Structure 1
Amino acid sequence: MTRYRELAPPPRTIMTPGPVEADPRVLRAMSYPMLGQFDPAFTALMNETMEMLRALFATANGWAYPVDGTSRSGLEAALAALIEPGERVLVPIFGRFGHLLHEIALRYGAEVSVIEQEWGRVFDPQQVIEAIDRVRPAVVALVHGETSTGQLQPLREIGAACRSRGVLLVVDAVATIGGVPVETDAWQLDAVVGGTQKCLSVPPGMAPLTYNDAAERKLLARRRIERGLRTPEGGEAQAARQIADAQAGMLPRERHIRSNYLDLSQLQDYWSPARLNHHTEMTSMLYGLREGVRLALEEGLAARHARHLLHGGALAAGLEAMGLQLYGERVSRLPVVACVRIPDGIDGEAVRALLLEQFGIEIASSFGPLKGMIWRIGTMGYSCSRRNVLLTLGALEAALLRHGLRLPAGEAVQTALQYYTRSEGI
């Protein structure tokens, strides 16, 4: 008889920048029976998912599909496909996840140039354009919504500048897809990577992405260089020997070895009508992704973006009415994450623990230079609701009062209610 009990996670109201609460309809879809990866019923679901992802990313790109793995797998796959060793890559950094793009680019042999903005602000597009003209990179890698600082980077002018200069622009839209407008074609973005566990309210485990013809030409050119590693005559055994030789410095330098699992040239073969086997698709996760994207499209992207703006605005208004200070520039605030300065004399981790233990509400701390300075409260996807906003404001007020902070009791919830009334024209 096993000593382990049946799994029973405690109920939570998750108000972090991700992961957030999964939509119950997504969880229901993930419970459906398994299908084989080449079953016509399953490949039809793959095709539908690609079609829906094009709508989500606002693109006519031929390629829009998920990489199996958390959001970081999609970011790494895109950069690995589009960076040649020794190429110049520009990474504008205004928070933690810009540093991640920097690290990934370095790992794939890029000559990386960085420009940095003070945390809590974004770049004026002209700053990035001037850096592009100075560095002359082959690729620019840029975060759209930086959850570490609660800031949203404008992309339209940067996309136009990259396109006119023949520079590929790779965008991390993990925190924004499904909650904030992401206009892939209109903003002239070459490759965009999203996430499931934030505004789409799907469990973490897939990274939907899209890329255009220019990006595809580059990754296929890279595959032609590497074709010798996968010859039909030698099969996998010969490929393994060649890779071992490459690692020992016995292959030409230009045959730089990429990840097999994250190779977009092979993944797009798998998602093409040819269905060339690459890996075993994550059946249940694909069900969940398809349902999450279907729900976003059913709600309507404009209505969904408005919902996130409404509840993020109500939360911010309530926090300020409580006497708390929002961190970062207001004009570039990311609507789906409120960054809040922890009041002087307050133990931020103790407040978070009280919220979790007594109210079942989770908010997030922060990283790097902001660790211990701010809380981050998300309003994303299924978690983005009036109920959750009002509960969080009331619980945070109670927790701060419990920790001895003097504040205008009751003002936060009343202000949020008034915000909703004004916004709805009641």
Structure 2
Amino acid sequence: MHHSTPFHVPVRTIMTPGPVEVDPRVRQAMSNSILGQFDPSFTSLMNETMKLLRLVLQTTNHWTFPIDGTSRAGIEAMLCSVIEEGDIVLVPSFGRFGGLLTEIAERCGADVQVMTCEWGDVFDPDDVINEMKRVKPKVVAIVHGDTSTGRIQPLKEIGYACREMDVLLLVDAVATVGGTEVNTDEWMIDGLITGTQKCLSVPAGMAPLTYNERIEDILLQRKSIEKGLATKEQLLSSNFERRIRSNYFDLSQLQDYWSPARLNHHTEATSMLYGLYEGLRLILEEGLEARFKRHRVNERALVAGIEAMGLELFGHSENKLPTVTCVTIPDGVNGDSVRKMLLDDFGIEIASSFGPLHGKIWRIGTMGYSCQQRNILLTLGALEAVLTRHDVKVNVGEGVQAALDVYQQKERISKANDG
């Protein structure tokens, strides 16, 4: 017999841009016993989860359900179900995840037109709208909050322009849903994807998405081809050449699984759905406004602490992603050595970065259940200690105090409001 040792999970405070800490109530929900995928108790949980998702995504779209797989699975399902060979797709890319949208669209055979800006900036909506007029795309695919640069892209004007010009707007809102305002319907977003492991604060493994009738029409057209409902002449004319390459990520089949038809497409990730349902329930119990406010207050405390310590933030403050704070690594400091000591000695994890920013910034996430006062204060205190250990001149003692000032000011305001 082989005796292996049980896996030991070290205690951690996770302050990365995902995965994040998970509320014990979500973990408890996930440990419930398994139900069969067509058990009425389970299919009713599927329906209830769709209802809660609509509220969190601020949409009335009927088709609002999770894809099994991480956030990228949702992005792939949305893009490969909508984009056809030869479609013009405009990707305004302002970080690593614009690159991901580009790559997936290219794999779908799209004619991808990429706009770029410097990492740390976002686009002026007018520039995107002018580019749309120039390239006349079928689809604009854009990231809402890019964790690689810690920036958030304003979408409202772009959404209105897409609707006016009859362009489909597909949005990766993985890093923003549940942590800051995301108005699917009001911003005229046609298809939106998010993930469980960031501000929804559920383990990685599901990608909730939503789409409207404009996208459903495309799916139905493609489905009629597959079922042989279209004529041969239509098939031969190129605009009707519509087949979704992926079976697993075929939204036209997935929506049949999430409908009363209950097409036996795949086996639903039972425990993950328990976790998602509970995570969404907790978000709505807290209230979207209150939750966004909590994310803003903790972000403000973190930023105040970082600056009081004498460190610099990366990027422009007006388009900062509220759920990720990018800190410029001081000259001559080995960023990985600082992260290693934070993890080994304090059990706190912060993130490094990619691409042009590799080795230049640290990224600190304040998302979901990780986004709490205790974690902010611990991180600031530990970071100061580690930097001091690395001979960095910081304003000793000031970081935590500046954060405490933010929290105490917030308490005074809420007391005054209660009074």
Q: Shorter-chain TM-score: which interval?
A: over 0.9
1:361 maps onto 2:339 in alignment: no
Contiguous gaps of at least 5 residues in structure 1:
230-250
1:404 maps onto 2:391 in alignment: yes
In 1, Cα distance between equivalents of 2:8 and 2:285: 31
Kindly state the Cα deviation for residue 419 of structure 1 after the two structures are TM-superposed. 1.3
In 2, Cα distance between equivalents of 1:212 and 1:94: 26
Aligned partner of residue 55 in structure 2, secondary structure = helix
In 2, Cα distance between equivalents of 1:159 and 1:252: 25
Q: Check the 8 A contact 1:163/1:188 in 2, yes or no.
A: yes
Instruction: Name the counterpart of 1:424.
Output: 411
Which of the residues 273, 279, 282 maps onto 1:286?
Answer: 273
| Superposed CA offset, 1:35-94 (max 9, x none) | 000000000000000000000100000110000000000000001111111010000000
Letter in 2 for 1:330: S
- Alignment of structure 1 residues 311-326 onto 2, 5 Å: 311-326=298-313
Q: Check the 8 A contact 1:85/1:256 in 2, yes or no.
A: no
Kindly state the Cα deviation for residue 139 of structure 1 after the two structures are TM-superposed. 0.3
Q: Check the 8 A contact 2:244/2:250 in 1, yes or no.
A: no
Kindly state the Cα deviation for residue 313 of structure 1 after the two structures are TM-superposed. 1.1
Kindly state the Cα deviation for residue 252 of structure 1 after the two structures are TM-superposed. 12
Instruction: Name the counterpart of 2:321.
Output: 334
Distance 1:252 1:78, change over 3 A: closer
Instruction: Name the counterpart of 1:266.
Output: 253
Letter in 2 for 1:365: S
Which of the residues 267, 277, 283 maps onto 2:264?
Answer: 277
Aligned partner of residue 424 in structure 1, secondary structure = helix
Instruction: Name the counterpart of 2:232.
Output: none
In 2, Cα distance between equivalents of 1:333 and 1:126: 19
In 1, Cα distance between equivalents of 2:68 and 2:14: 24
Aligned partner of residue 412 in structure 2, secondary structure = coil
1:135 maps onto 2:135 in alignment: yes
Kindly state the Cα deviation for residue 420 of structure 1 after the two structures are TM-superposed. 1.4
Q: Check the 8 A contact 1:325/1:341 in 2, yes or no.
A: yes
- Alignment of structure 1 residues 166-205 onto 2, 5 Å: 166-205=166-205
Instruction: Name the counterpart of 1:43.
Output: 43
1:376 maps onto 2:363 in alignment: yes
Instruction: Name the counterpart of 1:310.
Output: 297
In 2, Cα distance between equivalents of 1:282 and 1:93: 32
1:300 maps onto 2:287 in alignment: yes
Instruction: Name the counterpart of 2:416.
Output: none
Q: CA RMSD in A?
A: 1.4
Q: Check the 8 A contact 2:308/2:398 in 1, yes or no.
A: yes
Q: Check the 8 A contact 2:84/2:242 in 1, yes or no.
A: no
In 2, Cα distance between equivalents of 1:175 and 1:413: 26
| Superposed CA offset, 1:183-242 (max 9, x none) | 00111000000110000110000000000010110111122223349xxxxxxxxxxxxx
In 1, Cα distance between equivalents of 2:239 and 2:392: 65
- Alignment of structure 1 residues 98-247 onto 2, 5 Å: 98-228=98-228
| Superposed CA offset, 1:269-306 (max 9, x none) | 00001111100000000000000011001100010011
Which of the residues 368, 376, 393 maps onto 1:389?
Answer: 376
- Alignment of structure 1 residues 336-351 onto 2, 5 Å: 336-351=323-338
Q: Check the 8 A contact 2:46/2:258 in 1, yes or no.
A: yes
Letter in 2 for 1:22: V
Q: Give the TM-score normalised by structure 2.
A: 0.95
Q: Check the 8 A contact 2:222/2:244 in 1, yes or no.
A: no
1:77 maps onto 2:77 in alignment: yes
Kindly state the Cα deviation for residue 422 of structure 1 after the two structures are TM-superposed. 2.1
Letter in 2 for 1:290: Y
Letter in 2 for 1:88: I
Aligned partner of residue 327 in structure 2, secondary structure = strand
In 1, Cα distance between equivalents of 2:216 and 2:165: 18
Letter in 2 for 1:409: V
In 1, Cα distance between equivalents of 2:101 and 2:312: 30
Q: Give the TM-score normalised by structure 1.
A: 0.93
In 2, Cα distance between equivalents of 1:122 and 1:257: 32
Distance 1:421 1:10, change over 3 A: same
Letter in 2 for 1:339: C
Letter in 2 for 1:383: S
In 2, Cα distance between equivalents of 1:200 and 1:214: 27
Distance 1:201 1:128, change over 3 A: same
Kindly state the Cα deviation for residue 7 of structure 1 after the two structures are TM-superposed. 2.0
In 1, Cα distance between equivalents of 2:293 and 2:325: 16
In 1, Cα distance between equivalents of 2:32 and 2:362: 37
| Superposed CA offset, 1:100-136 (max 9, x none) | 0000000001000010011101111101101110110
Contiguous gaps of at least 5 residues in structure 2:
230-237, 414-419
In 2, Cα distance between equivalents of 1:330 and 1:252: 45
Kindly state the Cα deviation for residue 8 of structure 1 after the two structures are TM-superposed. 2.0
Aligned partner of residue 319 in structure 2, secondary structure = coil
Give the total of aligned pairs. 405
1:6 maps onto 2:6 in alignment: yes
Kindly state the Cα deviation for residue 327 of structure 1 after the two structures are TM-superposed. 0.4
Instruction: Name the counterpart of 1:246.
Output: none
Instruction: Name the counterpart of 1:20.
Output: 20
In 2, Cα distance between equivalents of 1:151 and 1:261: 32
Aligned partner of residue 210 in structure 2, secondary structure = strand
In 2, Cα distance between equivalents of 1:386 and 1:104: 38
Aligned partner of residue 399 in structure 1, secondary structure = helix
Aligned partner of residue 331 in structure 1, secondary structure = helix
